[in-house]
Amino acid sequence: MSEETTIDTAELGEKIVTVLKTIYDPEIPVDIYELGLIYDVFVNEDMEVKILMTLTSPNCPVAESLPAEVEEKVKSLNAVKDAEVEITFDPPWTQDLMSEEAKLELGML
């Protein structure tokens, strides 16, 4: 049986989230997904991915490198044809967007 099985967009979305959970904000020991920096992940039928994300602040020291790292890691998935990251500050990131797990990790609970 071939490993080139058909992958659906929902399954690909889950794989993308798994990849996003390997990327960390350099200032906070929590991955960008649990931090709530990922607002949305879109996958179209051509397996092109668009990620809407934010940063903890507009002056974030990784404002240039973090989106590029997200794009590269998502593009590295076999099923992904292309990936684009769009940065937004609307709505601005707040600690309320963090998962319970992230808050626990940072001693906020």
Residue pLDDT tens, the chain, 109 long: 334 456 788 899 999 999 999 999 888 889 999 999 999 999 998 999 999 999 998 888 888 899 999 999 999 999 999 999 999 999 999 999 999 999 999 999 8
**Residue owning tokens 């590269």:** 72
- The residue extents of the domains of the chain are 9-96
Count CA within 13 A, CB hemisphere, residue 23. 23
Identify the CA nearest to 74 among candidates 46, 50, 39.
50
Is it true that domain 9-96 has CATH number 2.130.10.10?
A: no
Identify the CA nearest to 78 among candidates 10, 34, 22, 16.
16
The dihedral sign for the CA sequence 34, 36, 37, 38? positive
